[in-house]
Amino acid sequence: MRLLAPLLLLGFSLAAQEPVDFTKQIAPILVQRCIECHGPEDQEGDLRLDAKEHVFIKGDEDFWSVLPEEPDDSELIRRLGLDLDDEELMPARGEPLTAEQRELFRRWVAEGAKWPVEGDDFIASELAAQVIPKITFDLPELSDAQRAKVDAAIQAMRSMGGVVQRIAADTDAVEVNLSLLRDKVTDETLRQLEVLAPVLVWLNASRTNIGEGAGVHLAKLTQLRRLNLSGTSVGDRGIAGVEGLQQLEYLNVYGTQVGDAGLASIAALPALKQLYLWQSKATQSGVAKHQDALAGVQVDLGDYVEARLDAARQEIADREARNTPVNELCPVSGTKVDPKFFVLHEDRRIAFCCGKCKAKFEKDPAAFAAKLPSAEARSDAEASPINDKCPVSGAAVDAAHTVTHEGRLVGFCCGKCKAKFSKDPKPFLAKLPPKK
């Protein structure tokens, strides 16, 4: 009975839930997390998500990634909820969407995937805005004396090997990259940068030898928009220097000593949009403490990165396993194999001691079949699909998209077809090679 009250409460809040507002709740996620690969520039997987007409293409209903009112059958919803080690997980870059964001997408589709004109307008204006701030910087006017000092400092940086570049032709704004100089760059180098403060908008000091003393100098670089301190020993004291940087939009403290105390300085940044914290000393609960201040910030704690690295390692191991012969002894001579001599026989890599044995085997494999390890012993990872045409689309199979169906490995051209087949294989079975 103790459970009843919270359950009732939950029921009540669900009933009272407002429908998802595409323009306010979905479109911003598309802009931030999807459109770089599924928009005007790039259409990965032949998918554009930047306007209604591209998502719901007339006459192409069978291939829509979003099926209104059918979240369980929508490829887009499936992609968002995959395991971390699944290469089909979207977004294909960065952190997966949060559980709340995924739930928003699911509800949006379940409620009919409404995409009002305002949604298109919002996305278009966001994309237009993304292009402009990169080039126009509102910088203080320089006096002639200041300009001369700035130019001298740029020369000095360059002669020590730093990369100093003007961001665009119509601005004084410069980008400084010191990361290639590694240990040569110290807190003292940052002091020399202070002269550049009126024009310095991007600074990359990653993997350099700067530390806690960097803070006082960083505090003077008031025009900074982007700051990369990753891989340095900057910690909570050093990062306190960024606190007054009113324009800072991007901050990378990946692999630094910055911890939860430093987050307080970071959370105070009024213009911050992106924050990278992977392998810093900052914790999830530290981030949660500054949740309100960081509400508009894309925070990347990178927990998922480890999982993705593990998956990549596994894939390499699998691939190596596939390239290893199934037998240690030559089926023809019975002596140790030399992996150089091999054939692919019934999807298995079979090795021989020499070219002669290989030729013998190829002439009449059946005669030597008994000498090979039994076929059942192999795992799916070592097998290749039984079909070379996708049973759903008829296009060529991509071995990255497979499922095991009734003991046979079936391949598809893409994840969408795989999903269709997995849901209901029957209509496509006739397209598969007959069972032996």
* Binding-site ranges for ligand HEC (CB under 6 A): 33-34, 36-38, 44-45, 47, 65, 75-76, 79, 88, 90-93, 97, 414-416
Q: Nearer Cβ to ligand HEC, position 143 or 422?
A: 422
Q: Classify residue 427 by its DSSP letter.
A: G
CB of residue 297 vs ligand HEC: minimum separation in angstroms?
18
- Alpha carbons 202 and 208: distance in angstroms, whole number: 16
Q: Which residue has the tokens 């293409």?
A: 57
Closest CB to ligand HEC among 308 and 349? Answer: 308
CB of 46 to ligand HEC, least distance (A): 7
Q: Which is nearer to ligand HEC, 91 or 211 (CB)?
A: 91
Q: What is the CA radius of gyration of the chain?
A: 29
**Residue 275 near residue 300, CB atoms below 8 Å:** yes
Sequence-ordered list of residues with C-beta below 8 angstroms from that of 214, at least 6 positions apart, any chain: 187, 190, 205, 229, 232, 234, 238, 241
Q: Which residue number, 75 or 236, has a Cβ lying nearer to ligand HEC? A: 75
Closest approach of ligand HEC to the CB of residue 58, in Å? 16
- DSSP for 358-398 reads HHHHHH-GGGGGGGSPPGGGS-GGG---S-SB-TTT-SBPE
With a CB cutoff of 8 Å and minimum separation 6, the contacts of 350 are 325, 326, 327, 331, 342, 343, 344, 361, 372
Nearer CB in complex with ligand HEC: 217/418: 418
Burial readout 390-419 (b: 16 or more C-beta within 10 A, e: otherwise): bbbbeeebbeebbbebeeebbbbbbbbbbb
CB of 61 to ligand HEC, least distance (A): 13
- Smallest distance, Å, CB 318 to ligand HEC? 18
Nearest residue to 263 via CA among 279, 246, 247, 280? 280
Distance of CA 405 to the CA centre of its chain: 30
Which lies closer to ligand HEC via its Cβ, residue 78 or residue 207? 78
- Rounded to a whole number of angstroms, the minimum distance from the CB of residue 94 to ligand HEC is 7
Question: Which amino acid is it at 178?
Answer: L
CB of 126 to ligand HEC, least distance (A): 14
**What's the token pair of residue 366?**
């059946």
Residue closer to ligand HEC, measured from CB, 32 or 327: 32
- Closer residue to ligand HEC, CB minimum distance, 158 or 423: 423
Residue 392 Cβ vs ligand HEC, minimum distance, rounded to whole Å: 11
